[in-house]
Amino acid sequence: MAQSRADRTEPESVLVESAGDGFRQRLSDGRHELTADEPLAAGGADAGPSPYELLLMSLGACTSMTLSMYAKRKGWPLEKVRVHLKHDRIHAEDCRDCETKEGLVDRIDRAIEMKGPLSDEQRGRLLEIADKCPVHKTLTSEIKIVTRYLP
Same domain as 55, residue 29:
no
Amino acid 104: pLDDT: 80
pLDDT digits (tens, 9 = 90+) for 43-72: 999 999 999 999 999 999 999 999 999 999
Parent domain of 22: 10-49
In eight-state DSSP terms, residue 133 is S
Same domain as 73, residue 15:
no
pLDDT digits (tens, 9 = 90+) for 75-94: 999 999 999 999 998 776 66
Same domain as 44, residue 56:
no
- H/E element holding 136? helix 134-139
The answer to the question of residue 5 being in a domain is no
**In total, how many domains does the chain have?**
2
pTM, two decimals, is 0.86
- Cα separation, 126 vs 13, in Å, equals 30
CATH number of the domain encompassing residue 67 = 3.30.300.20
Residue 5's pLDDT band, with cuts at 50, 70 and 90, is very low
pLDDT mean over 3-31: 82
Amino acid 101: pLDDT: 65
